[in-house]
């Protein structure tokens, strides 16, 4: 089943935690050490499939990773839940999703007579804290101890990122950005958490894929938080380095003017494309201190994916010629 990424929270979760390197760091730093010691994290790979029921795609997203566990097949399953009100039967749905993983494994490995371990991890994100059971047996009205052997028993590792949650995610800069942005939603101190996320971005300025990460983070902030331009400007000025700051404020202006945000009606596609070209042209002008008028026709030919690649190319290039050559090679293909 192919899952639609239905809102900015899902997108942030999937785009950041869906990178194997980040997932490895998350698992290594946030699961109990006695569990991590059995995982061969060098083998961790994303499995491009979703198990979410259609009625829950507006409030859940998931990621499945395969990983060797003591030389055996195994999985780490991330369920991201962002319901406005906690659902007491989350563990029942989680069990259903895990059964689907096992069924899929069974169909692909008919020669094996045992099922793999699945480590279930739940990230809860919403305006209210999660107070529902984390043990499946807690959902079942067991009349006596004699019925316990006939009742499924499993638990999940929960991370409550709601305003009432006390959980702190440990890990690299990307994980800290993810934690700050998700926990900012619905929090009274959301601007401070956004500021921390921006400040952490500075650590990644020279990292591969920085342009893409920057756009993901800034799009999320624009779509989710109501921060006036002046306050956002002060926030950016006080935290981000100059190159990052100039790109973000240029993008902010263009996004606001063109309405270039996801979720807009399809009839705005042409306007978004033109707006994107102007944003990229302004970024080139800022970076190399010259007007790239001759590049505008090429910029207009780029797909959304190529635009993201170009942002990274601009930020990492030392000369305008590098950018021009990249554009010409892409547009010729």
In this prediction, residue 245 carries a pLDDT of 64
In this prediction, residue 29 carries a pLDDT of 94
Q: Is 321 exposed, middle or buried (0-12, 13-18, 19+ CB in 10 A)?
A: exposed
At residue 302's C-alpha, the angle toward residues 297 and 305, to 5°, is 160
Q: How far apart are CA 95 and CA 10, in angstroms?
A: 21
Give the mean pLDDT per block of 10 residues along the chain (333 residues).
Answer: 58 89 94 95 92 79 94 94 74 93 93 94 77 82 93 89 79 92 85 88 81 81 79 76 66 55 42 58 70 74 77 74 82 71
Note whether 257 and 275 are within 8 A (CB): yes
Retrieve residue 152's tokens: 């499924």
In this prediction, residue 23 carries a pLDDT of 94
DSSP class per residue in 215-271: HHHHHHHHHH----HHHHHHHHHHHS-HHHHHHHHHHHHHHHHHT--TTS-GGGHHH
The alpha-helical segments, DSSP class H, found in 79-209 are 90-108, 173-184, 190-201
In this prediction, residue 63 carries a pLDDT of 93
In this prediction, residue 73 carries a pLDDT of 96
Angstrom distances, CA of residue 181 to CA of 224, 232, 233, 237: 10, 15, 18, 18
């Amino acid at each position: 089943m192919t899952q639609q990424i239905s809102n900015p929270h899902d997108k942030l979760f999937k785009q950041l935690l869906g990178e194997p390197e980040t997932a490895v760091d998350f698992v290594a730093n946030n699961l109990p050490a006695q569990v991590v010691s059995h995982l061969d994290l060098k083998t961790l790979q994303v499995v491009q499939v979703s198990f979410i029921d259609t009625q829950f795609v507006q409030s859940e997203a998931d990621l499945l990773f395969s990983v060797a566990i003591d030389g055996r097949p195994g999985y780490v399953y991330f369920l991201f839940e962002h319901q406005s009100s906690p659902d007491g039967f989350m563990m029942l749905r989680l069990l259903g999703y895990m059964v689907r993983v096992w069924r899929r494994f069974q169909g692909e490995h008919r020669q094996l007579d045992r099922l793999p371990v699945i480590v279930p991890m739940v990230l809860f994100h919403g305006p209210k804290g999660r107070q529902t059971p984390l043990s499946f047996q807690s959902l079942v009205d067991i009349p006596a101890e004699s019925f316990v052997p006939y009742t499924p028993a499993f638990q999940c590792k929960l991370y409550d990122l709601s305003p009432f949650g006390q959980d702190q995610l440990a890990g690299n800069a990307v994980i800290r950005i993810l934690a700050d942005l998700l926990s900012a939603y619905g929090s009274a101190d959301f601007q401070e958490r956004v500021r921390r996320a921006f400040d952490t971005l500075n650590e990644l300025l020279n990292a591969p894929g920085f342009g893409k990460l920057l756009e993901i983070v800034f799009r999320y902030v624009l779509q989710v938080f109501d921060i006036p331009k002046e306050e956002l400007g002060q926030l950016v000025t006080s935290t981000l380095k100059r190159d990052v700051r100039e790109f973000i404020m240029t993008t902010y202006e263009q996004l606001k003017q063109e309405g270039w945000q996801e979720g807009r009606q399809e009839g705005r596609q042409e306007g978004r494309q033109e707006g994107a070209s102007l944003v990229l042209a302004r970024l080139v002008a800022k970076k190399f201190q010259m007007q790239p008028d001759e590049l505008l026709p090429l910029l207009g030919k780029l797909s959304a994916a190529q635009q993201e690649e170009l942002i990274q190319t601009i930020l990492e290039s030392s000369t305008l010629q590098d950018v021009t050559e990249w554009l010409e090679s892409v547009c010729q293909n």
